[in-house]
Amino acid sequence: MFSRIFIFCSILLLGLCITTKFAYSTNEGGQTMGKAAFAAGCFWGVEERFRTLKGVISTKVGYCGGNYPNPDYQTVCTGTTNHAETVEIEYDPKIISYNELLKVFWTNHDPTTPNRQGPDFGTQYRSIIFYFNKDQEKLAQESKVKMAKSFKSPIVTEILPMGEFYDAEEYHQKYLLKHGQNVCH
């Protein structure tokens, strides 16, 4: 009887581990690292803004929030996949908090313009906070309410559970750094 319960619980836990997106991971040195993901317009500039923050360990750009498997840039730009250009961030929560990352997110784009940032327009440029767990969801919702007081127009930023993240093509990764720039527009 005990072995059946043990096997059942093991399978259940394995299933949870496979289907749950974790907000924290452990690096090679055994340190706990946080994960965050934001869409706020063209991912080149968004990545550069977060990449240079003290406490951010790594960034990568890609596509998230859509309904089309394995999208590429050309397909995402058609507007038919519903993916947003997204930056996934690994950070050291001992150096920078999730709330500090949210503050950078809110202050580095216009969260009141649907499907547009600067000269870029389309659903791939919409504003989204992707959360990895309920704590991040709560903090994101609270920050949205707080930031709403700072804008004349309503905030259109979506707050969604982190779904499948598809890495963008290599030429998009650290694009501004590779080209000696620090801003898009």
Q: Which of 9, 17, 42, 64 is catalytic?
A: 42
Classify residue 26 as exposed, middle or buried by CB count within 10 Å of its CB (0-12, 13-18, 19+): exposed
Q: What pLDDT sits at residue 29?
A: 66
Q: What pLDDT sits at residue 5?
A: 41
pTM for the full predicted model: 0.86
DSSP annotation of 169 reads: P
Q: What is the mean pLDDT of each run of 10 residues along the chain (185 residues)?
A: 42 38 69 94 97 98 96 96 98 98 97 94 97 98 97 97 98 94 80
What structural domains and CATH numbers belong to the chain? Answer: 22-178 (3.30.1060.10)
Mark whether 42 is an active-site residue: yes
Q: What pLDDT sits at residue 14?
A: 39
Q: What pLDDT sits at residue 182?
A: 84
Whole-Å CA distances, 177 to 39, 145, 153, 173: 19, 34, 33, 9
